[in-house]
Amino acid sequence: NLITNPPRKAGVSARKQLPAKLVAVNETTPSRTALRVAMRRAAHQLLDRPLVLDDPYALRILPAWSVPELDQNGARETNPFGQAIRAFMVARSRFAEDKCSTFFQAGTRQYVLLGAGLDTFSWRNPFHDQGLTVFEIDHPATQTWKRELIRQAALTEPATTIYVPVDFERQSLADCLLAAGFHTDAPAFFAWLGVVPYLTLEAFRNTLRFLRGMAPGSGMALDYALPREALTDAESAVFDYIAARVARAGEPFQLAFTPQQIRLELEAVGWTINEDVDAAANS
């Protein structure tokens, strides 16, 4: 069962200028939360059955020093917080990838990971030989680190993946994507996972303005945090546990929405929510 902190899931379909930043990271330091998320996905491969997200690359992509820690820091299956957090993180990835598949069948050939971190979809891309291009967007420091981990793991960078480093303080996401070969006149599917709670409201709305210009038929999967006052006691305990950890990592939570608020934000830029999946539906 996924007791979740927070984030509910929104699958948004249909229909660009400048996000201020996706995750608060130091100019030269990769995101620590990106590593922790990747460790949860890897722990899922070791601890959970059946697998919600079957990811044979989850362990390979990790820095070697982190692998012995997979049964620590709340990853142990005997730790209810670890179970809940791990379940949420793999469920949201599975949700996004399933929706990407649906959009691919409808003709979408561009998949954009906003705040890609150590995501491994590029190696698991079931449509790599059918024209699905993956654009991985992240802060330059985090992306450089990931590509070094790829080299250390003796993995080959997939030919269908394009890495797009973006310093959101100084560069336009639109400009960087266009320079990388992204087509604004063709539909795209976006995975915006593990990012929104770290943004300011201004940065969130700037990103939505960027998405407003997407071609008809585009879609998105995103997660967002509920305000603490909207949580149950159990959910609040998980939320406080995670919030304290990410704050210590220098990447604190800043933004939360009720379901009605997120709906209004998206509708303001021409997007329609098709699904808003809560913890019970994810369990």
The string of DSSP letters for 29-57 reads S--HHHHHHHHHHHHHHHH-SS-SS--TT
Nearest one of 225, 171, 169, 220 to 195, comparing CA atoms: 225
Decide if pLDDT at 11 tops 60: no
The alpha-carbon radius of gyration of the chain (Å, integer) is 17
**CA–CA separation, 190 and 210 (whole Å):** 12
**CA–CA separation, 169 and 166 (whole Å):** 9
Is residue 250 very low, low, confident or very high in pLDDT (cuts 50, 70, 90)?
confident
Say what the pLDDT of residue 28 is: 61
**CA–CA separation, 117 and 31 (whole Å):** 8
Mean pLDDT within 87-107: 96
- Give the chain's end-to-end CA distance (angstroms, integer): 5
**CA–CA separation, 162 and 159 (whole Å):** 8
Write out pLDDT tens, residues 134-181. Answer: 999 999 999 999 999 999 999 999 999 999 998 876 788 899 999 999
Give me the residues paired with residue 110 across strands: 133
Neighbours of 201 (CB within 10 A): 11
